[in-house]
Amino acid sequence: MPTIRVSSSSGPYDVVCAPGALSRAASLIARLGDSTGTFIVSSPRVWRNCGRAIASKISGKAAKNPILFDDRESLKRLSAVESISQQLIRAGADRGAILVAVGGGVVGDVAGFAAASYLRGVRLVQIPTTLVAQVDSAIGGKTGVNLPEGKNLVGAFYPPKLVIADPVLLSTLPHREYRSGLYEVIKYGVIADRELFVFLERQMPAVLRRDPDALGWIISRSIAIKARVVGADEREGGLRQILNFGHTLGHALEAATGYRRFLHGEAVGWGMIAATMMALATDGLALMEAFRIVRLITTVGPLPNVPAISGAKLRSIVAGDKKARGGRVLWVLPRRIGKAEWGIEIPWPVVERSLQSLPEIMAETQTGLAAARARHAKS
Three-state SS for 21-86 is HHHHHHHHHHCCCCCCEEEEEECHHHHHHHHHHHHCCCCCCHHHCCEECCCCHHHCCHHHHHHHHH
| 64 belongs to the catalytic site | no
Mean pLDDT of 175-200: 98
Of the residues 57, 151, 226, 254, which is catalytic? 226
Last-in-domain residue among 172, 191, 217? 172
Of the residues 184, 234, 254, 266, which is catalytic? 184
Q: Does residue 286 lie within any of the structural domains?
A: yes
Nearest to 293 by CA among 191, 170, 217, 221: 191
20 plus 118 within the same structural domain:
yes
Taking only the tens place, the pLDDT of each residue in 323-353 is 666 678 899 999 999 999 999 999 999 998 8
Last-in-domain residue among 172, 199, 226? 172
18 plus 154 within the same structural domain:
yes
Nearest to 228 by CA among 239, 217, 238: 239
Q: Does residue 157 lie within any of the structural domains?
A: yes
Query: 345: burial class by Cβ within 10 Å (0-12, 13-18, 19+)?
Result: exposed
* Residue, of 320 and 99, whose pLDDT is higher: 99
Taking only the tens place, the pLDDT of each residue in 55-90 is 888 866 666 789 999 999 999 999 999 999 999 999
Of the residues 120, 375, 376, 378, which is catalytic? 120
Q: What is the CATH number of the domain that holds 147?
A: 3.40.50.1970
Q: Does residue 200 lie within any of the structural domains?
A: no
pLDDT of residue 130: 97
Q: What does residue 252 show for φ and ψ, rounded to 5 degrees?
A: -65, -40
Q: Does residue 330 lie within any of the structural domains?
A: yes
Question: Cα–Cα distance between 2 and 369 in angstroms, integer?
Answer: 36
Query: Helix-strand-coil percent breakdown of the chain, rounded to 5?
Result: 55, 15, 30
Taking only the tens place, the pLDDT of each residue in 214-255 is 999 999 999 999 999 999 999 999 999 999 999 999 999 998
Q: What is the CATH number of the domain that holds 357?
A: 1.20.1090.10
pLDDT of residue 55: 83
- Domain hosting residue 141, numbered range: 3-172
| 264 belongs to the catalytic site | yes
pLDDT of residue 151: 87
pLDDT exceeds cutoff 70 at 41: yes
Where residue 339 falls (left for φ over 0; alpha for ψ -120 to 50; beta otherwise) is beta
| 61 belongs to the catalytic site | no
CA 224 vs CA 115, 137, 260, 341: distances in Å: 25, 13, 31, 20
22 plus 155 within the same structural domain:
yes
pLDDT of residue 307: 86
143 plus 285 within the same structural domain:
no
Of the residues 142, 161, 179, 187, which is catalytic? 142
144 plus 246 within the same structural domain:
no
157 plus 247 within the same structural domain:
no
284 plus 161 within the same structural domain:
no
147 plus 48 within the same structural domain:
yes
289 plus 367 within the same structural domain:
yes
Taking only the tens place, the pLDDT of each residue in 351-376 is 988 888 888 877 777 666 666 666 66
pLDDT exceeds cutoff 80 at 127: yes
Last-in-domain residue among 156, 172, 188? 172
Of the residues 123, 151, 247, 289, which is catalytic? 247
pLDDT of residue 375: 67
| 175 belongs to the catalytic site | no
Contacts within 8 Å (CB) and 24+ apart, 200-207: 200/296, 201/292, 201/296, 204/296, 204/299, 204/300, 207/182
Q: How far is CA 315 from the centre of its chain?
A: 23
pLDDT of residue 312: 83
Q: Does residue 218 lie within any of the structural domains?
A: no
Task: Write the DSSP symbol of residue 312.
Answer: H
- Please state the domain count of the chain: 2
Q: Does residue 185 lie within any of the structural domains?
A: no
Work out the pLDDT band at 316, boundaries 50, 70, 90: confident
Q: Does residue 132 lie within any of the structural domains?
A: yes
Q: What is the DSSP secondary-structure string of 269-311?
A: HHHHHHHHHHHHHTT-S-HHHHHHHHHHHHHT-PPPPPP---H
| 378 belongs to the catalytic site | no
75 plus 150 within the same structural domain:
yes
Q: Does residue 217 lie within any of the structural domains?
A: no
330 plus 247 within the same structural domain:
yes
32 plus 144 within the same structural domain:
yes
